[in-house]
Chain A
Amino acid sequence: MNDNGEKMVLAGKVDLPFSYSAGKTASRFFVELRDHQKIVGKRCPRCQRIIVPAQLFCKECFVETDEWIEVGPEGTLLTFTVVYHKENHHPREAPLAYGIIRLDGADTSIVHLLGETDVAKLEHGMRVRALFSKERKGHIMDINCFRPV
């Protein structure tokens, strides 16, 4: 028997549903977003940091957060990128701009898309503001994007 060198490659594709529980704390964050267009965080009673998006516990102190605090909707763009390559799993078509935003009043930052601007005008440290979606479903995309102020 001769080996003709041919190598087989099998194509595969999986399409499966999942249902992820947000938990009570993130749920309230999403409800505030959907019903009141408010971005909320929670304060850690030990280190006093206001953590946004709201989390059940402070990961550094390992204690439950307590006080709910509204932050933003304006903030500072700490850093950004513009993605030019295309992948199936990217949330929007290239060029896709997103960044890390420190909302006013918060001690941690939020990752979100940047929009309604020429990407060439993006700068570290610039002021940005949340643009809420018209149709809101209790989801991170209830903020459509952040845009320069």
Chain B
Amino acid sequence: MGKKVAIIGTGQTNHCSSREDLNEMELVYEAASAALRDAEMTIAEIDAVVLANMELFEGRALHDMWCGEGGGAFMKHSFKISTGGTSGTSGAISGYYHAASGLFDRVMVVGFEKHSDGNTSAGMALTDPFWDRHVAAAAIGNFALSVSEYMADRGVTQEQSAKVAVKARRNACNNPHAHLQMPDLTVKEVLESPVLAYPVHRLEMCPQSDGACAIIFASEEIAKKRCPRPAWVRAAVTRHDHIYLGEVKNRLATMRSLREAARVAYETVGIREPLKEFDVAEIYDPLTYAEIAWYEALGFCKDGEGGRLIDDGITQMDGELPVNPSGGVISTNPVGASGTIRVAEAALQIHGRGGKRQIPDVNLALATGYGVYCWSDVVILSSRPD
């Protein structure tokens, strides 16, 4: 077991489809500066910088090289984590490991993506050249494959899926950083939006956003001194499943990597009834159906009951377990930052700095990451160090 570590500050840019006022490194700078302000720290106090980004989406290789200085990496220990959609959570987990090792006392993690620079085409066109590129249609198509299988298997309905989209975009209205804020969105509008890939509609998918998010991890002594209510990292687990789609049957329904990561994390913290014990969850929902599938994989309900959770309002702001008060990835998706935002939003809820999206009395918060079709991260934060 590593040393005790807490998140003492977070910062985000305002996310939108195109931040033409800032180039990519400046986006990183904006988020890093906001986190330093939140933690009441100076860059001189930071010992290590971890960067997280999705490869190639902006048509630039080696983002740590081109953007690291925006995170204050000049003359510091610094490197990059790039694991697709999980980059942001894996980056946060890496930041935690740095501090938990006892080798670094104050670690800054910055996840970032400037989607508008390149769309997703570069990353998506450069998938495996032998088995994928000529026969598959990248992220949306590959999601749609697993969605159609999941619907057939579990009986989840289009209406239940659309309700997730409505919840997300309404929650986003309470989050000044969110990209898609749609207070009046209806189930009907979601289902009347164009079908991108059967059975997935445009409004059921995440957007592509420009944005960055930073988190500051601190050792026990510093956290207690510098933060009135630190968000202690109680578990941080990563699991990777097969990448080739043909090797994972019924991917969305089984989601072995998320189930295994959650099992290990819950065991570490001693969680038996996640729906009752967590006060809030920020889960990585690349599209509506995934959120419902993750309810099941995370043990919020039994398999096949995910749709009921959304029907019954269990995961709404005033429900038993509010899921994604921030609006989630469905509302805001600067990919390399999306996972970092999940961890930052979970920490924010424990810090009590959630503003209009604050859930009362949060002591235990869950954050998850999802990447590259079958990879998962699970992070559990608590108001108590043990």
Q: Which of the listed residues A52, A83, A85, A119 has the most CB atoms from chain B within 10 Å of its own CB?
A: A83
Least Cβ distance of A16 to chain B in Å? Answer: 10
In the bound complex, CA of A14 to CA of B129 (Å): 18
Q: Which of B133, B136, B138, B149 contacts A79 (CB 8 A)?
A: B149
CA distance A108 to B245 in the complex (A): 9
**Measured between alpha carbons, how far is A7 from B22 in the docked complex, in Å?**
9
- CB <8 Å contact, A22 and B130: yes
When distances are taken between beta carbons in the complex, the residues of chain B under 8 Å from A109 are: 245-247, 249
Decide: B129 and A20 in contact? CB cutoff 8 A.
yes
In the complex with contacts A111-B135, A111-B245, A140-B134, A84-B196 CB distance below 8 A: yes
Beta-carbon contact of A88 and B146 below 8 Å = no
Q: Does A148 contact B (CB under 8 A)?
A: no
Chain B residues, Cβ within 8 Å of A82: 197-198
Query: Are B195 and A84 interface neighbours, CB within 8 A?
Result: yes
How would residues 70 to 90 of chain A score, 1 for a CB under 8 Å from any chain B CB and 0 otherwise?
000000001111111101111
Q: Is the CB of B198 within 8 A of A100?
A: no
A12 to B116, CA, bound (A): 12
**Is residue A31 contacting chain B, with contact meaning CB distance below 8 A?**
no
Is B141 located at the chain interface by the 8 A CB criterion? yes
Could you tell me if A87 and B124 are in contact, using CB atoms closer than 8 angstroms? yes
Known contacts A83-B141, A91-B137, A98-B141: A108-B130 contact under CB 8 Å: no
Q: Are B197 and A100 in contact (CB under 8 A)?
A: no
A2 to chain B, nearest CB (A): 16
User: Is A100's CB under 8 angstroms from B135's CB?
Assistant: no
The residue of chain A having its C-beta at the shortest distance from the C-beta of B129 within the complex is A20
- A39 sits at the interface (CB 8 A): no
1/0 per residue, CB under 8 A from A, across B291-308: the answer is 000000000000000000
What total of chain B residues lie within 8 Å of the partner, measured CB to CB? Answer: 39
Contacts A79-B145, A124-B148 given; does A140 touch B130 at CB 8 Å: yes
A residues less than 8 Å from B103 (CB atoms): none
Q: Which residues of B contact A26 (CB under 8 A)?
A: 130
Number of A interface residues, CB 8 Å? 41
Report A-chain residues with C-beta under 8 Å of the C-beta of B59.
12, 14
Q: In the assembled complex, how far is the CB of residue A100 from the closest CB belonging to chain B, in whole angstroms?
A: 6
Contact A99 B198 (CB under 8 A): no
Q: Does A112 contact B (CB under 8 A)?
A: yes
A9 at the interface (CB under 8 A from B): yes
Among the listed A78, A84, A89, which residue makes an inter-chain contact with B149, where contact means beta carbons less than 8 Å apart?
A: A78
- Beta-carbon contacts of B30-42 to A below 8 Å, as 1s and 0s? 0000000000000
Q: Name the distance in Å between A117's Cβ and chain B's nearest Cβ.
A: 14
Contact B134 A141 (CB under 8 A): yes
B131 on the A face (CB < 8 A):
yes
Q: Report if B191 contacts A (CB, 8 A).
A: no
Q: CA A18 – CA B199 in complex, angstroms?
A: 35
Task: Please indicate the chain A residues that have their CB under 8 angstroms from the CB of B21 in the complex.
Answer: 7
Q: Does A131 contact B (CB under 8 A)?
A: no
| Interface positions of A from 11 to 54, Cβ below 8 Å from B | 12, 14, 18, 20, 22, 26, 51-53
Evaluate contact between A83 and B152: CB separation under 8 angstroms: no
> Which of B6-63 touch A at CB < 8 Å?
20-21, 59
Instruction: Assess the B138–A89 pair: CB atoms within 8 A.
Output: yes
Which residues on B sit within 8 Å (CB–CB) of A52? Answer: 246
Point out which of A14, A80, A109, A111 has the most chain B C-beta atoms below 10 A from its C-beta.
A111
A-B contact pairs, 26 of them (CB 8 A): A26-B130, A51-B247, A59-B247, A78-B250, A81-B198, A83-B140, A83-B198, A84-B194, A85-B194, A85-B197, A87-B124, A87-B137, A88-B125, A89-B125, A90-B138, A98-B135, A98-B141, A100-B246, A108-B247, A109-B245, A109-B249, A111-B136, A111-B245, A140-B130, A140-B135, A141-B135
Chain A residues with CB under 8 Å of chain B are 7, 9, 12, 14, 18, 20, 22, 26, 51-53, 59, 78-85, 87-91, 96, 98-101, 108-113, 119, 124, 139-141
Beyond the given A20-B129, A81-B137, A91-B135, please list 4 additional residue pairs across the A-B interface where CB-CB is below 8 A: A81-B148, A81-B198, A101-B246, A109-B247
